[in-house]
Amino acid sequence: MAEKIVIVTDYKPDGTNKFFSIDDLPFSDEAKRLVLEWFARKLWVLLEEGSGESDYYCKMYDPLVIEGNTAHSYVFDMEDGGRHHPFKDLEHLEKMLMDEGIKRINAMVQHGG
């Protein structure tokens, strides 16, 4: 099923963009899941390129796959260190990805790459 994507420039009364979390996007749940899978791929590339190792090409086929309320990933630990990561809702999954990305970027900055 092809979903029509509409770019919305919807701002809060103070002029700021209102899209702060995955739940704020005016998309179906399936489209939001695809956005998070895309975000995970880009985050993984950023982390690998930032580390100077760039050894991620063989792992690009599924840095994150979402099925139901489980995210499958061998790339991200997401609170439990395993391969299968349960989440409460899409905002929780988004937060787990952001937290891990921030943690890993901070470690790279502290250790020079």
- C-alpha 99/C-alpha 83 separation (Å) is 17
pTM for the structure as a whole: 0.79
Largest CA distance in the chain: 46
Can you tell me the mean pLDDT for 76-100?
Answer: 92
What would the pLDDT profile of 2-13 be if each residue is shown by its tens digit?
666 555 555 566
Using a pLDDT cut of 90, give the percent of the chain over it. 44
Structure tokens, 15:
């002029």
